[in-house]
Amino acid sequence: MTAESRKRDLYLGIGFLLFSIGVWIASFSIKHLVVARIGSAFVPQLAATLLAILSIVLILQSILQAPGGSSKAEKTTEQETEAASKRKKRVRLTFLLILFYLIFLEPIGFLLTTALYLFFQFWVLARRKPNLPLYGIIAVSTSVIIYYLFVKVFVLFLPAGLLG
Amino acid sequence: MGMLEMFYVGFSQILAVKPLILIFLGVGVGIVFGAIPGLTATMAVALFLPLTFGMHPVDGMALLIGLYIGGVSGGLISAILIKIPGTPSSIATTFDGYPMAEKGEAGKALGAGIFYSFLGGWFSFLVLFFIAPPLADVALRFGPPEYFSIAIFSLTLIASLSTGSTIKGLMSGIVGVLLSCVGTAPIDAFPRFTFGFYQLDGGFNLLPALVGLFAITEILKTAESDIEIKLDHIANYRIKGFGFSGKEFVQQLGNFIRSALIGTGIGILPGIGGGTSNILSYIAAKKMSKHPEKFGTGILDGVVASETANNASIGGALVPLLAMGIPGDTVTAMLLGGLMIHGLSPGPLLFTTSGNIVYGIFAALIVANFVMVLMEYFGIRFFVRLLKIPKHIMLPIIIVFCVVGAYGLNNRVFDAWSVMFFGVIGYAFEKWGFPLAPVILGFILGPLAETNLRRGLMMTQGNFLPFLTKPVSGAFLVIALASVVYSVIKERKQAKR
């Protein structure tokens, strides 16, 4: 186990411990409605308790474990860090795009939002030089095909929005 | 009705134009999802699940079974030809499959892979046909204590068997249970953890949870990776016959039987499937072999072990699903969702109340297995060509399908948001080294355990002792505890080394 992953586990343990305390507190608002020894709060509280115990074990494990084999593995070249930051940027942009997609899906409608989302997402994920006209064509045609396929063939509702 | 008559009923439903078309479609799409690295059988079933809502249950199941068999089988194509397993089920196929291709035996490796996938599938179906009905009869006599204990047993087993640390596996399972607590509680219907959102009253839906955890997570992971598939040097993959001789078939017989048993057994255990069995069976084949040093250099034994076991897990995973309503792996978790949407709850009663659907599923398995061989054997060139579709075009389109499927569930954007929510959880968990399968099992088994615990305690006037003293229930709880203790001890030993 490297020093880095031990540190990560320590933070994770603390995070999950806080989370389980939060669940425990939130469970106080669950009322006991039935004449039985355990009510609806029992299982969430039991789960929160177990999670807290396991978090403490994880914290102890990360503190007590002897550090080993960490020094040589952590050297990274500049090229690698650059590639890593590019990767992170791709994931972050993908998150944002999906977020915008969901926000605008209902007000603007499926056809337009999907076409726009696809176009930018193709661009974000492209590894080589992006071919924007091609992306545009694929984005619009995919959006139209999926819309008609689902609305006409499978009879599912999709938000019509502006173009409906 | 006897078994033969029930099979007649099953086949008469499947051997019609619509279900057959759906099986062909399912197997074809499944193989594509299996062959393309980053797309899995789980994802294929998740994406097509919403389409089955409007279908007759047997038609819907035919499609999903086709996707399942195709998805598990397609992985061997990329494993052998480009050394990247198309799905986790084919990881061990790369060990000897790719070296065989390098030696110029790609056709032989593919032929054997396809043939033994077929045989492994058949073996597990026979086990399923003969074990599931009597098991369901036994399960009919189970009461709340038994179901509670089996749910706990399944949860601890998956947590301790999944990859990585036992502690993290258990934590994943508990997070799944907590996620299932959101919404109306069983028995008294008190809304829990809804924080004033009326949309949460019904809790999170299974489908957005599955699509988020498995499809979105996988897409984000692929967005992050830098690996590009290079297809410049694919070996000559003409298949003659099935590529191997009758003598070789006889030599592989022992290997086949062992691998099929491992695959089926792993499939029956809740929560784990082909992704685990192919590796375990490869290791077993190597250990038992007279020439273990040859493994990894491109010998038939490795391909046979891996490809037999992963398909054998299919029939195994369906045993607990159909007999007890407990999914045997992530794909069967989704089949559970597919049955429930039609108001069918998998479990022992399904055999009596909807025997036609159960035997329809059995018939679909047999037909889909034949379709798989035909399609992979004759369509191999087509599937190889599909490997060239660029990832950055394919993945966004799949995200759109995820959103459409989730939205179509209740016609509300809320479910699409849940997909994202579970996607973020899945991605974070993967990054942090927490396995995902226990989350989904916790999500499915949590309510089962809770309902049966509370029902059971009402029957016993609040006394927990009968849960321990009833033989079946007590035994499962003891095994559950033992499996956790065993894996913790094993882990400590490994850490010391």
Cβ pair A87, B224 in contact under 8 A: yes
Quick: pLDDT tens for B320-359: 999 988 887 888 888 888 888 888 888 888 888 888 999 9
Assign 3-class secondary structure to chain B: CCHHHHHHHHHHHHCCHHHHHHHHHHHHHHHHHHHCCCCCHHHHHHHHHHHHHHCCHHHHHHHHHHHHHHHHHHHHHHHHHHCCCCCHHHHHHHHHHHHHHHCCCHHHHHHHHHHHHHHHHHHHHHHHHHHHHHHHHHHHCCCHHHHHHHHHHHHHHHHHHCCCCHHHHHHHHHHHHHHHHCEECCCCCCEECCCCCHHHCCCCCHHHHHHHHHHHHHHHHHHHCCCCCCCCCCCCCCCCCCCCCHHHHHHHHHHHHHHHHHHHHHHHCCCCCHHHHHHHHHHHHHHHCCCHHHCCCCCHHHHHHHHHHHHHHHHHHHHHHHHHCCCCCHHHHHHHHHHHCCCCCCCHHHHHHCHHHHHHHHHHHHHHHHHHHHHHHHHHHHHHHHCCCCHHHHHHHHHHHHHHHHHHHHCCHHHHHHHHHHHHHHHHHHHHCCCCHHHHHHHHHHHHHHHHHHHHHHHCCCCCHHHHHCHHHHHHHHHHHHHHHHHHHHHHHHHHC
- CB contacts of A39 in chain B (<8 Å) are 188, 190
pLDDT of residue A67: 60
pLDDT digit string (tens) for B248-264? 899 999 999 999 999 99
Query: Which residues lie below 8 Å from residue B66, measured CB to CB, with a gap of 6+?
Result: B22, B23, B24, B25, B26, B27, B29, B30, B364, B368, B371
Candidates A51, A98, A154; nearest CB to B174 = A51
- pLDDT one digit per residue (tens) for chain A, 164 residues: 577 788 889 999 999 999 999 999 888 888 777 666 677 888 899 999 999 999 999 999 888 876 654 444 445 567 777 777 888 888 889 889 988 998 888 888 889 999 999 999 999 888 777 889 999 999 999 999 988 887 777 666 777 766 65
Task: Give me the pLDDT at residue B227, please.
Answer: 58
Output the pLDDT for position A1. 58
Whether A8 and chain B come into contact, CB under 8 Å, resolves to: yes
Which pLDDT does position A71 carry in this prediction? 46
pLDDT of residue A38: 77
Structure tokens at A126: 């492209």
Residue contact A47–B495, C-beta within 8 A: no
Contacts with A44 from chain B: Cβ below 8 Å: 178, 181, 192-193
Residues 133-152 of A with CB under 8 A from B: 138, 142-143, 146, 150
* Distance from the A52 Cα atom to the nearest Cα atom in chain B, whole angstroms: 9
Question: Model ipTM?
Answer: 0.85
Q: Which residues of B touch A101 (CB under 8 A)?
A: 403
| pTM check: above 0.90 | no
**Which B residues in the span 206-235 are in contact with A, Cβ-Cβ below 8 Å?**
216, 219-220, 223-226, 228
Contact residues on chain B for A142, CB-CB shorter than 8 A: 397, 400
Total tally of structural domains belonging to chain B = 1
- Chain B CB within 8 Å of residue A31 CB: yes
- The list of chain B residues with pLDDT below 50 reads none
Query: Which residues in B lie closer than 8 A to residue A151 (C-beta atoms)?
Result: none
Residue contact B420–A142, C-beta within 8 A: no
Q: Which chain A residue has the Cα nearest residue B423?
A: A95
List the domain range (segments joined by +) for residue B183.
3-496
Chain A window 77-136: which residues touch B at a Cβ cutoff of 8 Å? 83, 87-88, 90-91, 94-95, 98-99, 101-102, 105-106, 110, 114, 117-118, 121-122, 124-127
Q: What DSSP designation does A151 have?
A: I
